[in-house]
Structure 1
Amino acid sequence: MTQHNGPAPAADPGSAGNRTAVVITALGVESGAVAEHFAAGHRPLREADGTVYEIGTFHGEHGSWTVPLVEAGQGNTSAGIEVDRAVRVFGPDVVLFVGIAGGVKDVALGDVVAADAVYDYERGKDSEDGFVPRIKTRSSSHLLLQYARAAARRQRWCDRVRPAPPDGTPPRSWVAPIAAGGKVVGHDRSRTAELLRAHCGDAVAVEMEGYGFLQGAYVNPRVGALVVRGVSDLLNDKGEENDRTEQPRAARHAAAFAFELLDVLRSAEQQR
Structure 2
Amino acid sequence: MSRDLVVILTALNLEYQAVRRRLAGPQVHRHERGTRFEVGTVQGTSCRVALGLTNKGNHSAAVIAERAIQEFSPVAVLFVGVAGALWDTARLGDVVMATHVYAYHGGTSEDDGLKARPRVWEAEHGISQLGSHLARVNDWADDLPARGRAPQVRFGAIAAGEVVQNSRISAEAQWIRQHYNDALAIEMEAAGVAQAGHLNGAPVAIIRGISDRADGTKTSAKDRDGQPRAAANAAAFAARLAAELVAEQEQIAMSHIDGVPTADGFKKYVSNTAHNSTVGIMAGSVKESSVHVYADAKVMGPADLVAELDGFREQLKRHHVAGALDDDTYQEALADLGSAHGAAQEATPESSKRATMALKRLRGLIAEVPELVAGLAPLVVAAGEL
Q: TM-score, normalised by structure 1?
A: 0.86
Length, aligned pairs only: 249
Give the equivalent residue in structure 2 for 1:123: 106
Post-superposition shift, 1:139? 1.6
Q: Is the 8 A contact 2:6 2:47 kept in 1?
A: yes
Q: Is the 8 A contact 2:94 2:153 kept in 1?
A: yes
AA of the residue aligned to 2:21:
E
AA of the residue aligned to 1:103:
A
**Change over 3 Å in CA distance of 1:233–1:36 after alignment to 2:** same
Q: Is the 8 A contact 1:46 1:55 kept in 2?
A: no
Q: Is the 8 A contact 1:115 1:175 kept in 2?
A: yes
Q: Is the 8 A contact 2:104 2:119 kept in 1?
A: yes
Of 12, 16, 21, 1:36 maps to 21
Instruction: Give the % identical residues.
Output: 38
**Change over 3 Å in CA distance of 1:57–1:172 after alignment to 2:** same
Give the equivalent residue in structure 1 for 2:47: 65
Equivalent runs, 1:249-264 vs 2, <5 Å: 249-264=229-244
AA of the residue aligned to 1:197:
R
Separation (CA, whole Å) in 1 of partners of 2:197 and 2:249: 22
Give the equivalent residue in structure 2 for 1:187: 167
Equivalent runs, 1:32-111 vs 2, <5 Å: 32-39=17-24, 41=25, 43-60=27-44, 63-105=45-87, 106-111=89-94
AA of the residue aligned to 1:43:
Q
| 259-268 or 110-119, which deviates more | 259-268
Of 225, 235, 244, 1:245 maps to 225
Separation (CA, whole Å) in 2 of partners of 1:251 and 1:31: 9
Task: Map Cα deviations across residues 39-60 of structure 1 (whole Å, 9 max, x no partner).
Answer: 1x45234233221111222134
Separation (CA, whole Å) in 1 of partners of 2:242 and 2:74: 13
**Change over 3 Å in CA distance of 1:42–1:218 after alignment to 2:** closer
Higher Rg: 2
Separation (CA, whole Å) in 1 of partners of 2:7 and 2:54: 12
Equivalent runs, 1:122-141 vs 2, <5 Å: 122-141=105-124
Runs of 5+ unmatched residues, structure 1 = 1-7, 12-18
Post-superposition shift, 1:192? 1.2
Post-superposition shift, 1:269? 4.5
Post-superposition shift, 1:92? 1.0
Q: Is the 8 A contact 1:124 1:132 kept in 2?
A: yes
SS in structure 1 at match of 2:47? strand
Separation (CA, whole Å) in 2 of partners of 1:130 and 1:195: 12
AA of the residue aligned to 1:204:
L
Separation (CA, whole Å) in 2 of partners of 1:193 and 1:233: 15
More strand by share: 1
Give the equivalent residue in structure 2 for 1:146: 129
Q: Is the 8 A contact 1:48 1:89 kept in 2?
A: no
Give the equivalent residue in structure 1 for 2:373: none
Task: Map Cα deviations across residues 215-262 of structure 1 (whole Å, 9 max, x no partner).
Answer: 0000111x2211100001002332221101111111111000001112
Separation (CA, whole Å) in 2 of partners of 1:195 and 1:42: 42
Give the equivalent residue in structure 2 for 1:233: 212
Give the equivalent residue in structure 2 for 1:22: 7
Give the equivalent residue in structure 1 for 2:194: 214
Q: CA RMSD in A?
A: 1.7
More helix by share: 2
Of 127, 131, 152, 1:172 maps to 152
Q: TM-score, normalised by structure 2?
A: 0.62
Runs of 5+ unmatched residues, structure 2 = 253-386
Separation (CA, whole Å) in 2 of partners of 1:36 and 1:155: 21
AA of the residue aligned to 1:38:
L
Task: Map Cα deviations across residues 117-174 of structure 1 (whole Å, 9 max, x no partner).
Answer: 0101100011222211111101221111110111111211113xxxx43232211101
AA of the residue aligned to 1:169:
R
**Change over 3 Å in CA distance of 1:122–1:42 after alignment to 2:** closer
SS in structure 2 at match of 1:85? helix
Separation (CA, whole Å) in 1 of partners of 2:101 and 2:204: 12
Post-superposition shift, 1:267? 4.2
